[in-house]
């Protein structure tokens, strides 16, 4: 009993352990089976999920779901706004850079023009753009009884001053063509009367600021007027013969005058004073012009010379080229000028050469019977400042426009503008939009011919510009 009980006692734990081991094995098998079952169940779930996702992908999405997908985090929003801000800054900087480059190009172009203008080499190309005006477009202002001898345009192109052999000066409105003021003829020896000219007015000049008007006559007098009100201010005396040319130095109130007494005089209008006298011409001086430099140019008439007067040095340069009497001259820029003579020739000059750079003979053709032809006298010339456009006048029933070639070494005819009579004066407006001609029945310096069908008048000729298309490949 005791042995058997002891064996049982000894076997219980053994059998219990075996049972426990068997139970553990069974649990492990069950667990593994459960795992297999779970894995099989999981496979089924996966299959079901994938089929659900497929069905969802095929089904249309709701707006709420799209909005949920489009929602961004705060960090992503900051990044997007930062990129947008940087892009805006980049565009602004590019626009500023383009604007700066454009301004620099403009400034560089303006500086280049200023340098060329100071050196007297500026030659803007405008002549090819000029379109010949129709006769109906020319405005005619009538008011003088005798031939127009000279005219000037105010710097702002608002008014024209014209003078004539009837000893009067008329101020015209450019816009309306009406008379703004008339300075009547003064009777000789009449004291206490309104001041004026008692003989032919041969020349006029206006200061670059439009303040002073100067006029000279055959009585050796220079009268100074306030341009705005036409009130007489001073009278300059000193010339011993007819005053034939006047010009203000640009930017100043320094006045140059020349006369048939062969002298050139310098005046200070603002101080009402005489400065000095220069001599050199061998015959009566016919015309004078000046720009910004402290010098002036003169046409020497029958002595056949053009002279450049250097005022500070009291010296002169002498130029030869025309075969006849040089009656008119005009500066194109500080280094070049154009002149006309009674031999029918028009010359372009450079201050560095004593001979013409270009000479156009018989510029207005010939007149007279066959075998006895004579060239039409050149009675007036004008040039649009710092450009290649030149105008000439005669009594050939037309005003001619010319184009100066490169370097002012050539003169090419552009067009004819019909005007009957002696073209005694020509002036371009500052803007270049019109040309003003003073027309008379007689030459301004004499009575060699009389054209009866001509009308003593001021003619305003519009100059329309048609832009020339750029050349192919330019």
pLDDT in tens, 265-324: 999 999 999 999 999 999 999 999 999 999 999 999 999 999 999 999 989 999 998 999
- Per-residue pLDDT for 53 more than 70? no
Which one of 6-20, 181-195, 256-270 scores highest in mean pLDDT? 256-270
Binning pLDDT at 50, 70 and 90, where does residue 188 land?
Answer: confident
Binning pLDDT at 50, 70 and 90, where does residue 121 land?
Answer: low
Q: What is the DSSP string of 374-438?
A: EEPP--EEEE-TTBSEEEEE-SSSEEEEEEE-GGG--EEEEEEEE--SEEEEEEE-TTSSEEEEE
CA distance 299 to 320: 11
- Per-residue pLDDT for 37 more than 80? no
CB count within 10 Å of CB 132 equals 13
CB count within 10 Å of CB 339 equals 27
Q: CA-CA-CA-CA torsion for 67, 72, 73, 76, nearest 10 degrees?
A: 180
User: Averaged over 387-402, what is the pLDDT?
Assistant: 95
CA distance 445 to 377: 12
Tens-place pLDDT, residues 324-341? 999 999 999 999 999 999
What is the model's pTM? 0.74
- Per-residue pLDDT for 245 more than 50? yes
Greatest CA separation for the chain: 186
Side-chain-side CA neighbours of residue 255 (13 Å): 30
User: Averaged over 116-136, what is the pLDDT?
Assistant: 78
User: Averaged over 48-56, what is the pLDDT?
Assistant: 43
- Per-residue pLDDT for 132 more than 80? yes
Binning pLDDT at 50, 70 and 90, where does residue 70 land?
Answer: low
Nearest alpha carbon to residue 325 among 299, 353, 355, 307: 299
* DSSP one-letter code for 468: P
Binning pLDDT at 50, 70 and 90, where does residue 113 land?
Answer: low
Binning pLDDT at 50, 70 and 90, where does residue 411 land?
Answer: very high
Q: Determine contact, residues 332/408, Cβ cutoff 8 Å.
A: yes
How many residues are listed for the chain in this entry? 474
Phi, psi of 341 (to 5 degrees): -135, 170
- Per-residue pLDDT for 60 more than 80? no
- Per-residue pLDDT for 22 more than 80? no
Question: Quick check: helix, strand or coil at residue 465?
Answer: strand
To the question of domain 144-465 being in CATH 2.130.10.10, the answer is yes
User: Averaged over 60-67, what is the pLDDT?
Assistant: 51
């Amino acid at each position: 009993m005791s042995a058997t009980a002891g064996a049982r006692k000894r076997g219980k734990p053994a059998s219990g352990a075996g049972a426990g081991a068997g139970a553990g094995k069974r649990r492990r098998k069950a667990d593994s089976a459960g795992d297999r079952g779970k894995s099989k169940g999981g496979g089924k779930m996966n299959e079901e999920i994938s089929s659900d996702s497929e069905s969802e992908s095929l089904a249309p999405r709701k707006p709420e779901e799209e909005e949920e997908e489009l929602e961004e985090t705060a960090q992503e929003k900051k990044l997007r706004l930062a990129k947008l801000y940087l892009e805006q800054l980049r565009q602004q900087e590019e626009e500023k850079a383009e604007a700066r480059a454009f301004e620099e190009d403009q400034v560089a172009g303006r500086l280049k023009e200023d340098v060329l203008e100071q050196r007297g080499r500026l030659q803007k190309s405008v002549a090819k753009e000029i379109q010949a005006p129709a006769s109906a477009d020319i405005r005619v202002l009538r008011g003088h009884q005798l031939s127009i001898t000279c005219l000037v345009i105010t710097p702002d192109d608002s008014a024209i001053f014209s003078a004539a052999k009837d000893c009067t000066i008329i101020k015209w409105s450019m816009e309306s063509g009406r008379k703004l003021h008339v300075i009547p003829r003064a009777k000789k020896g009449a004291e206490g009367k309104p001041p004026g000219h008692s003989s032919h007015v041969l020349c006029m000049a206006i200061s670059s600021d439009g303040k002073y008007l100067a006029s000279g006559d055959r009585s050796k007098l220079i009268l100074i007027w306030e341009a705005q009100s036409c009130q007489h201010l001073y009278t300059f005396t000193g010339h011993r013969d007819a005053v034939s040319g006047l010009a203000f130095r640009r930017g100043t109130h320094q006045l140059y005058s020349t006369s048939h007494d062969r002298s050139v005089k310098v005046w200070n209008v603002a101080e009402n004073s005489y400065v000095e006298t220069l001599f050199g011409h061998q015959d009566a001086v016919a015309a004078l012009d000046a720009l910004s430099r402290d010098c002036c140019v003169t046409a020497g008439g029958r002595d056949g010379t053009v002279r450049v007067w250097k005022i500070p040095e009291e010296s002169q340069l002498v130029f030869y080229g025309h075969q006849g009497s040089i009656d008119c001259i005009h500066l194109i820029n500080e280094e070049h000028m154009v002149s006309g003579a009674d031999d029918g020739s028009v010359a372009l000059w450079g201050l560095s050469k004593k001979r013409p750079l270009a000479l156009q003979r018989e510029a207005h053709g010939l007149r007279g019977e066959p075998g006895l032809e004579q060239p039409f006298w050149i009675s007036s010339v004008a040039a649009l400042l710092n450009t290649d456009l030149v105008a000439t006048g005669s009594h050939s029933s037309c005003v001619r426009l010319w184009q100066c070639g490169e370097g002012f070494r050539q003169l090419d005819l552009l067009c004819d503008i019909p005007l009957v009579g002696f073209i005694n004066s020509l002036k371009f407006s500052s803007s270049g939009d019109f040309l003003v001609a003073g027309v008379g029945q007689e030459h301004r310096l004499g009575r060699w011919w009389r054209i009866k069908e001509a009308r003593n008048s001021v003619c305003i000729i519009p100059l329309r510009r048609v832009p020339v298309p750029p050349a192919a490949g330019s």
